[in-house]
Amino acid sequence: KEQGIDASDTEKVKKLRLRTRRNAYCLPSPTERSGSKMEQFWDATLARCPNRVKHLIRLDESGALLETPSREIVLNRKTQILDNCKDLRDVVRNCGKAKRASKFLAISLSIAKFVSLKLGQPSLMRPLLKMSSMSYTFAILFMVSKLADKLEKEYFFKYTDDYRRRDMKKIPEKIWIDR
């Protein structure tokens, strides 16, 4: 028994039918070999994690290891990263707060300007409600909102099949051997 794992369980993990992974990388290029070495490392390391062996055996018995997951599942940053990391969930939540706060401040500043035009400007608000300072403030609030939105979108699936098809068209045809 090694680190709470039965020797029989370790042997079962070594015998798992990982045909999908073995068939996926067949080229002798350095890139393919390095990926294969990484997978061998993860197979050897993850088998020692608590409860991982039993989970892998259940997946093997259900046939899940024989299926190749779709691109959407593999590349979906929300399910692969965001759902598993509390710190990144906090980042995404803070991005949402920053977007809402910047929009709220922009609306509040606009309302304050319109009210001051109707009622007259109080002396305390005069420097803030000048057009030059308002334009700078709006520009900063707009940039904060856009950057927060861009950062938030990075943690969700964005490389759809349409983007993939568009990118594939950019590759010259003479690269593909079968064309």
Quickly list DSSP for 68-100.
PPPHHHHH-HHHHTGGG-HHHHHHHHHHHHHHH
Better-scored residue on pLDDT, 75 or 179: 75
Position 8 scores a pLDDT of 66
Q: What is the pTM of this model?
A: 0.53
Strand partners, 2: 5
Mean per-residue pLDDT for 53-63? 79
How do residues 87-135 score in pLDDT, each as one tens digit? 989 999 999 999 999 999 999 988 888 777 777 766 666 666 777 788 8
User: Cβ(95)–Cβ(152) under 8 Å?
Assistant: yes
Q: Which two tokens stand for residue 79?
A: 């399910």
